[in-house]
């Protein structure tokens, strides 16, 4: 709200007027068979497009019924677990190979990957004067807000911002993929200086380093990180790079791209979507919940004490009184979220290195007890599993990454998927998105100004 109390009174009065005139009877959604949230009655998503980029598998349909299956995350037809396993065997950081696969649809040869990685590295530095003019002169307290503005500002530094041929769009996307980590890191440093009154460190990115290594180097005053820290962040980037065309931010990129707008407008819209607390901001809520749990439980290994406090949360007697155990449940995954499993397994290594095994074990206990307690309360037989947000915030905490960078890390990864979806929409879409909204307000006789009371 405003700092002006008189203005606030005026805005509150207008707000009450807006709320009175905008509600819609929930029964009308049923009457008109509205697919709220683009969801069918059985919870599946309304089919609005086709994609060859990624797939999210959590159930199978048999005789019209959803049958839960262990979760699988597929990139261009390949199970992401195999991509991660391959990178580990080769002792490589895998995010750059993931980007190549998402953009071009095929796994690169060693030579192709080296060439592409070198090209990505060469684009990490921001354009001349960009840091001073677009970041330092207009800092933001919210890094996602600054990231969106940084994307839009990039338009002004592009020699061909409106070119719609695929080669030009691909160039723009690769530059954004490469620079997102630098944009986010510099925006964070500007926030430290202008909002937190702390020292600001602006390091130059190193072309030879991976995305994960560069990001850790840029946000730390001493530029130091361990190999395990970089590997864990690299894993997080791979797991967040793509999640099918139906997730809110990827769909946003499809919708905006279908209007035949420029790359920067489409990607900035994706950033705006991801910023939402129902999308990319969930891992922060998970960490906030865990901080309260830790403060109110004496023995972090006592399952009875933990279960009792979780029941308070579910009964809306603790934390934010919503009744939600954050990090549990997913729109598609039911038995398991593969991203959660992969991140949890790698996080255990770092927890041992950092001496944070007790907190890691607390996560595992809540991951086990949470679904049982939710079932006690709700009686819903739908299987509930921990999702990737359950561990990602803890991972970033172990990496000494501040909470304001949690969602930007998501964006640093998801820009790869967004770029692939933008190109796919331009190549294969061809029609502007135009779903229907039914007007449920009756027509009224107009009242002229002189007759209004």
Instruction: Enumerate the active-site residues.
Output: 279, 330, 389
For residues 211 and 178, give the distance between their C-alpha atoms in angstroms, rounded to a whole number: 8
- Identify which of 338, 394, 334 has the alpha carbon closest to the alpha carbon of residue 364: 394
Q: Categorise residue 63: left if φ over 0, alpha if ψ from -120 to 50, beta otherwise.
A: left
The DSSP code sequence of 382-450 is S---B-THHHHHHHHHHTT--GGGHHHHHHHHHHHHHHHHHHHIIIII-S---------SPP-----GG
* Contact status, residue 325 vs residue 314, Cβ threshold 8 Å: yes
Q: How far is CA 229 from CA 79, 235, 239, 363, in A?
A: 24, 10, 16, 19
- Identify which of 207, 104, 105, 180 has the alpha carbon closest to the alpha carbon of residue 415: 180
Q: Which two tokens stand for residue 413?
A: 């990864």
Q: Which two tokens stand for residue 248?
A: 């809110």
Q: How far is CA 230 from CA 82, 134, 328, in A?
A: 19, 28, 26
Residue 111, H or E segment: helix 110-122
- How would you list the strands of the sheet with 54-62, edge to edge? 54-62, 65-75, 78-79
Q: Helix axis angle, 248-258 relative to 406-424, nearest 10°?
A: 40
For residues 303 and 201, give the distance between their C-alpha atoms in angstroms, rounded to a whole number: 43
Q: Which two tokens stand for residue 197?
A: 């009154």
């Amino acid at each position: 709200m405003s700092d002006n109390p008189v203005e606030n009174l005026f805005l509150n009065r207008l707000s009450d007027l807006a709320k009175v005139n905008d509600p819609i009877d929930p029964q009308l959604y049923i009457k008109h068979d509205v697919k709220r949230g683009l969801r069918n009655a059985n919870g599946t998503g309304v089919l609005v497009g086709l994609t060859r980029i990624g797939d999210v598998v959590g159930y199978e349909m048999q005789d019209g019924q959803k049958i839960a299956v262990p979760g699988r995350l597929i990139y261009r037809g390949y199970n992401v677990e195999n991509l991660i396993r391959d990178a580990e065997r080769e002792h490589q950081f895998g995010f750059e190979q993931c980007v190549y696969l998402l953009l071009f649809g095929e796994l690169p040869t060693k030579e192709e990957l080296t060439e592409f990685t070198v090209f990505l590295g060469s684009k990490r530095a921001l354009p001349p004067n960009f840091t001073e003019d677009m970041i330092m002169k207009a800092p933001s307290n919210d890094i996602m807000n600054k990231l969106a503005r940084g994307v839009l500002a990039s338009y002004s530094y592009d020699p061909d911002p409106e070119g719609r041929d695929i080669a030009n769009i691909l160039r723009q996307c690769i530059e954004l993929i490469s620079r997102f980590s630098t944009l986010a890191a510099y925006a964070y440093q500007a926030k430290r200086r202008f909002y937190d009154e702390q020292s600001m460190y602006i390091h130059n990115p190193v072309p030879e380093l991976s995305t994960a290594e560069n990001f850790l180097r840029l946000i730390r005053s001493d530029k130091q990180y361990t190999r395990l820290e970089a590997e864990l962040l690299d894993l997080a980037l791979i797991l967040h790079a793509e999640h099918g065309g139906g997730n809110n931010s990827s769909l946003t990129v499809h919708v905006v791209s279908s209007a035949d707008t420029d790359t920067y407008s489409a990607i900035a819209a994706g950033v705006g979507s991801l910023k939402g607390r129902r999308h990319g901001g969930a891992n922060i809520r998970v960490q906030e919940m865990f901080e309260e749990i830790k403060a109110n439980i004496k023995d972090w290994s006592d399952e009875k004490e933990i279960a009792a406090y979780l029941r308070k949360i579910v009964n809306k007697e603790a934390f934010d009184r919503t009744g939600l155990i954050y990090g549990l449940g997913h729109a598609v995954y039911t038995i398991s979220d593969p991203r959660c499993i992969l991140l949890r397994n790698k996080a255990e290594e770092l927890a041992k290195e950092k001496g944070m095994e007790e907190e890691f074990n607390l996560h595992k206990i809540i991951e086990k007890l949470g679904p049982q307690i939710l079932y006690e309360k709700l009686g819903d037989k739908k299987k509930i599993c921990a999702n990737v947000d359950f561990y990602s915030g803890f991972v970033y905490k172990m990496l000494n990454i501040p909470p304001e960078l949690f969602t930007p890390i998501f964006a640093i990864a998801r820009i790869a998927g967004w770029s692939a979806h933008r190109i796919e929409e331009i190549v294969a879409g061809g029609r502007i998105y135009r779903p229907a909204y039914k007007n449920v307000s009756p027509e009224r006789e107009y009242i002229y100004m002189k007759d209004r009371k």
